Amino acid sequence: MAELTINDLNGILGKAFSPWVLDLNLTVVETGEQHVRIQMIPQERLNRYGDIVSGQALMAAADTAMVLAIFCALGEFTPCATVDMNTSFLKPATNVELHITGGIIRKGKTIIFARSDIVSSLDNKPVLSATGTYALPSPAAA
């Protein structure tokens, strides 16, 4: 199985994700066999009252990191669907670059369990922790 490069994942991000996800301005900066690290540059338009990055933007970034980690684990782009996502908001993020990791907890034939963490570049403290379950196309459907 071929390992996806940073360029591969940034290309997939630019072509396979919804335009509003692209508006998060995410960039893949590290990739591995079952993980990915992306950065999110602060944007005023993603903030809510008090200049705090909105929870919706953070959850979308975490979901995106987990999906990209799935592509790494599979060695290719494969359509998948988020089945559920459990998110804990740990502290507010305000006007700071965020570092988002995504990784695989367990990979099955038609379901994958993943994890994502977001930390602030300001103090390296956790902002969000999430787990997700993702459905893959069944082998019979391929």
Taken in order of first residue, the domains within the chain and their CATH numbers are: 6-141 (3.10.129.10)
| Distance (Å, whole) CA 41 – CA 136 | 30
**Which residue numbers in the chain have pLDDT < 70?**
1, 140-142
Alpha helices in 28-106 (DSSP H): 55-74
Q: Tens of pLDDT along 45-58?
A: 898 888 899 999 99
Question: 14-38 burial, b if ≥16 CB within 10 A, otherwise e?
Answer: eeebeeebeebebebeebeebbbbb
Residue 103 has a CB neighbour count (10 Å cut-off) of 19
Looking up tokens 């570049």, which residue turns up?
121
Q: Can you give the pLDDT at residue 1? A: 61
Q: Can you give the pLDDT at residue 141? A: 54
Helix (H, G, I), strand (E, B) or coil at 90: coil
Report pTM: 0.94
